[in-house]
Amino acid sequence: MFLVLLIFALHIDKCTINSSLKELIKEFKAKIGLCFKITDLGPICWLLGMKASCDQEAQTIYIS
């Protein structure tokens, strides 16, 4: 069994999207872009004053 997950975190005018499938992120951004003006700033580095980094091989996200 394969679990497909999409996480959308929103705070005022900042948000982040994470998913177990890159295609799901693209589809979600396309659909939400039909209703709202969005800007894709690429991979997350900082969010709400917290430094964020990820290790794709280990499939982990670090927040400090």
Domain interval for residue 26: 6-63
Given a cut of 70, whether residue 1 has pLDDT beyond it is no
Residues 6+ apart with CB under 8 A from 8: 15, 16, 17, 28
Is position 35 within any domain?
yes
Please give the backbone phi and psi of residue 3, each rounded to the nearest 5 degrees, phi first.
Answer: -90, 125
32 domain-assigned: yes
pLDDT in tens, 2-59: 788 999 988 888 888 888 888 999 999 999 999 999 898 888 888 888 898 888 788 8
- Please answer whether residues 8 and 15 qualify as being in contact, where contact means their C-beta atoms are separated by less than 8 angstroms: yes
Q: In the chain, how many domains are there?
A: 1
* 39, part of any domain: yes
Q: How confident is the model at residue 60 (pLDDT cuts 50, 70, 90)?
A: confident
Classify residue 1: in a domain, yes or no: no
